[in-house]
Chains A and B, each alone.
Chain A
């Protein structure tokens, strides 16, 4: 009788232990994945001044577009939480789109090899951000699934694990971005 009890207790402890470990590992993976996004965001932040300068050389009068881009870039640099990053990244994407759209009105700019190179690099970075975000969100969703299901929910409660945020801008966040010419 006593032995059975001991075996049951040991099994429960082992089970709890492995659940705790999988939650902790999940958290580490999310953090790693977030730093993967950060690397690409940083690349984009570094590229923006170059791109703005190039466009300015041909199209001095598009002040509002430049301001929007600079503002969005600054807010991305200062973003702290995952959600803030996602929102300001989304804002920067919109602003950059209108910056690129400016080139339609300036054939010289459009044909400049420097501009074309920058544009290609920008689209490469954007593709990489998309994949890094996908990897991040996959990790978050697998962690959150463990956390809301039994026994993860019990262990999570006991040790204070919280659900993690996805890297995404909600519909509401997307509204304030106005494309202005």
Chain B
């Protein structure tokens, strides 16, 4: 499977995920509409409202993320070595040059974001620049550029938005119960509405969680692919492997990362060790580093 068919597969997956989410969201809307007693028109308004909020965030997501992370854009003269590394690997990957950002933090980490090849960003911490050698930095940058080239950044941006949409809808529903109290017509429909009210509340509580779990599982899968295509780009898997090793023994958390941005980074920025039942692994943003190193070393 060459890299272009990977990209095609990724684009197809994006559509599949959007489709599944549309079904998911429609179901939720139906339940909320029935439960609140206002019917589907009300749910429709909720959808339009949340939809506008969610999709406007699609266009500003990269700026929000960069702002949240305190990242600063740099030009070639600020750090020619990093800039050249990015330029060279972009030539090797056949993609246009992304914008380059730096986070002032001594933790070793990096991420990429944006919505397509022409609006993409690579961001590394100063810890990366100070503590990784040239081949390790190359490995990390190649991993991030692979996220851009494989269209992972778009896939993740859309998934994040849809997850946000689900959460917004749940919030909208719970609030409407609180304030509106719904004009309940005392009639024979009362009974079904009661049932839908229960289902609705259950949905409102569970759906953000389910959506988040989907997001995390998508994110974990993308990491392996980016490792592999990054290694193919530098022709030297050991570079990324030894960078990951340094990240693994590094105990310093990245201060600017939060729950909303954690999945973007090359490795879990919190450094908290979760003791391993399968259930707690459902909430991991990244696959275990040891496993990634093992796969890279076997290439």
Contact = CB atoms under 8 A, between A and B. Distances in A.
B2 A36 contact: no
A138 to B, nearest CB: 8
Contact of B93 (A32, A40, A124, A135): A135
A132 B2 contact: no
Contacts of A15: none
Interface string B1-37: 0111000000000000000000000000000000000
B235 interface: yes
A36 B94 contact: yes
Chain B contact residues: helix, strand, loop or mixed: helix
A128 B91 contact: yes
A106 interface: no
B4 A142 contact: yes
Q: Interface centre among B2, B87, B88, B92, by most A CB within 10 Å? A: B92
A74 interface: no
Contacts of A134: 92, 235
Contacts of A124: 84
A40 B89 CA distance: 14
A40 B2 CA distance: 25
Nearest to A26: B4
Contact of A135 (B2, B84, B94): B94
A127 B210 CA distance: 47
A65 B87 CA distance: 31
B236 to A, nearest CB: 12
A33 interface: yes
Contacts of B84: 124, 127
A128 B87 contact: yes
Contacts of A36: 91, 94
Contacts of A127: 84, 88
Given A128-B87, A131-B88, A134-B235, A142 B94 contact: no
Interface string B235-274: 1000000000000000000000000000000000000000
A132 B88 CA distance: 8
Q: Which of the four size classes fits the interface of chain B?
A: 10 to 19
A131 B89 contact: yes
Nearest to B235: A134
Contacts of B89: 131
Given A127-B84, A128-B87, A33 B94 contact: yes
A132 B4 contact: no
A32 B93 CA distance: 13
Interface residues of A, number: 16
Nearest to A127: B88
Nearest to B92: A131
A98 B3 CA distance: 39
A75 to B, nearest CB: 24
A52 to B, nearest CB: 24
A51 to B, nearest CB: 19
Interface string A63-107: 000000000000000000000000000000000000000000000
Contacts of A132: 91-92
Interface in B101-140: none
Contacts of B4: 142
Contacts of B88: 127-128, 131
B293 to A, nearest CB: 24
B95 to A, nearest CB: 10
Interface string B152-192: 00000000000000000000000000000000000000000
Nearest to B84: A124
A36 B91 CA distance: 8
A38 B91 CA distance: 12
A135 B145 CA distance: 14
A29 B95 CA distance: 12
Given A131-B88, A134-B235, A135-B91, 12 more contacts: A32-B94, A33-B94, A36-B94, A124-B84, A127-B88, A128-B91, A134-B92, A135-B92, A138-B3, A142-B2, A142-B4, A145-B2
23 contacts: A32-B94, A36-B91, A36-B94, A40-B91, A124-B84, A127-B84, A128-B87, A128-B88, A128-B91, A131-B88, A131-B91, A131-B92, A132-B91, A132-B92, A134-B92, A135-B91, A135-B93, A138-B3, A139-B94, A142-B2, A142-B3, A142-B4, A145-B2
In the complex, the 4 A-B pairs of residues with the closest C-beta atoms, listed nearest first: A131-B92, A142-B2, A131-B91, A131-B88
Interface of B: 2-4, 84, 87-89, 91-94, 235
